[in-house]
């Protein structure tokens, strides 16, 4: 018999998004909807499970946790990259790590949802209308505005393409971006500082790494126009959170739309929950029915293949 734990299923939909009945009859699947932040609580919960399905980076698996799970044999992450899993430690401990495919567009779609919500005050107007008030704000249009895209990879280039469709001008920057790549999407390559100082909307589309952690701090926010907006759908720590809160409180920038945070779920007493010049969402970038069907469908395939002794979509340790 194999026991499977499915973690952080906030919406309670994991069992609906794939056909788990194809697994052998002696496989027991248990779904956990709540999130545990305490590593010791996670270890206690997962003792006795052979297989764990982790939703993205919601629950980290460092060496210290993996060492407390001697029965664990297969760890599945949705997506093929998960910075919160110590893959090297897993390999040393005999734990196979497998991934799933995903979809390349939902986060780009959400980015534009956040931009429109922020500039047209959609959440505020929705709330006011439900409360009996009528037209409480005056929003901003997109045409002829300057969009600054930090990171012009798969997601950033999709966001840039939509920006052009809205009639915006485009600036782009990242550490390795070339002028040719920028021009391919109608953008002009500039320095990071020039992008920040000229853009009306700055949107971040980078992978979190040692190079990008804290990339946008107090100095960088100070370069932005007081009328400018910041959008982050990548990873919270790319922007220094305290500096951002300070900039929003002081009016250094006009507002921010955020789908990612240093700590997730966002603590109940967090100041970002109280700032009126923000739109915040609970890391919804990849959270669509279509994505979840891929994630959970491939997770079932990963379990089947592992039990047959032929694991698929294996994420190998560095240097292996």
Q: What are the chain's domains?
A: 2-102+288-307 (3.40.50.720), 106-280 (3.40.50.720)
Residue pair 12/55 in contact (Cβ under 8 Å)? The answer is no
Question: Averaged over 157-175, what is the pLDDT?
Answer: 98
Residue 95: pLDDT over 80 = yes
pLDDT at residue 317, as a whole number: 87
What's residue 96's pLDDT? 98
- State the pLDDT at residue 139: 98
User: Is the pLDDT score of 147 beyond 80?
Assistant: yes
Sheet holding 2-6, edge to edge: 27-31, 2-6, 51-54, 74-77, 96-98
**How much is the average pLDDT of 130-135?**
98
Task: Report whether 314 contacts 98 (CB < 8 A).
Answer: yes
CB-hemisphere CA count at 13 Å for 35?
17
Q: Annotated active-site positions, please?
A: 235, 264, 283
How far CA 96 is from CA of 81, 83, 255, in Å, comes to 14, 16, 43
User: Does residue 166 surpass a pLDDT of 90?
Assistant: yes
- Counting residues of the chain whose pLDDT is more than 70, the rounded percentage is 100
282, pLDDT greater than 90: yes
pTM attached to this predicted model: 0.96
The set of residues, in sequence order, having a beta carbon less than 8 Å from that of 6 and lying 6+ positions away, is 14, 29, 30, 31, 32, 53, 299
- Whether pLDDT at 319 is above 80: no
Instruction: Note the pLDDT of residue 263.
Output: 96
CA distance 146 to 190: 13
Residue 271 has pLDDT above 90, yes or no: yes
Tell me how far apart the alpha carbons of residues 110 and 284 are, in angstroms, rounded to a whole number.
Answer: 8
Mean pLDDT to the nearest integer, 304-316: 98
Note the pLDDT of residue 318: 80
pLDDT at 320 > cutoff 80: no
- Which secondary structure element, helix H or strand E, spans residue 266, and what is its range? none
**Average of per-residue pLDDT across 67-81:** 98
Residue 81 has pLDDT above 90, yes or no: yes
Residue 24 has pLDDT above 70, yes or no: yes
């Amino acid at each position: 018999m194999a026991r499977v734990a499915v973690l952080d299923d906030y919406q309670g939909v994991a069992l609906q998004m794939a056909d788990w009945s194809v697994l052998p009859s002696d496989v027991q699947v248990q779904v956990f909807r709540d999130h545990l932040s305490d590593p010791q609580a996670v270890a206690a919960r997962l003792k006795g499970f052979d297989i764990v399905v982790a939703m993205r980076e919601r629950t980290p698996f460092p060496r210290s946790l993996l060492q407390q799970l001697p029965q664990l044999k297969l760890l599945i992450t949705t997506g093929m990259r998960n910075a919160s899993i110590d893959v090297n430690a897993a390999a040393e401990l005999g734990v196979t790590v497998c991934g799933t495919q995903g979809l390349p567009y939902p986060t780009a779609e959400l980015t534009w949802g956040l931009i429109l919500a922020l500039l047209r005050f959609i959440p505020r107007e929705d709330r006011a209308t439900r409360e009996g008030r009528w037209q409480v704000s005056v929003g901003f249009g997109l045409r002829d505005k300057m969009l600054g895209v930090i990171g012009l990879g798969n997601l950033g280039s999709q966001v840039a393409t939509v920006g052009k469709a809205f009639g915006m001008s485009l600036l782009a920057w990242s550490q390795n971006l070339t002028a040719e790549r920028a021009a391919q999407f109608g953008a002009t390559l500039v320095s990071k500082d020039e992008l920040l100082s000229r853009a009306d909307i700055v949107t971040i589309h980078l992978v979190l790494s040692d190079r990008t952690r804290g990339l946008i701090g107090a100095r960088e926010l100070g370069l932005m126009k007081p009328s400018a907006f910041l959008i982050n759908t990548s990873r919270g720590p790319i922007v220094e959170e305290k500096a951002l809160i300070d900039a929003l409180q002081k009016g250094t920038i006009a507002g921010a739309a955020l789908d990612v945070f240093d700590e997730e779920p966002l603590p109940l007493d967090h100041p970002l929950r109280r700032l009126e010049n923000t739109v915040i969402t609970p890391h919804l970038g990849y959270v669509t029915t279509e994505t979840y069907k891929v994630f959970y469908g491939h997770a079932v395939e990963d379990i089947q293949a592992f039990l047959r002794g032929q694991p698929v979509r294996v994420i190998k340790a560095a240097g292996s």
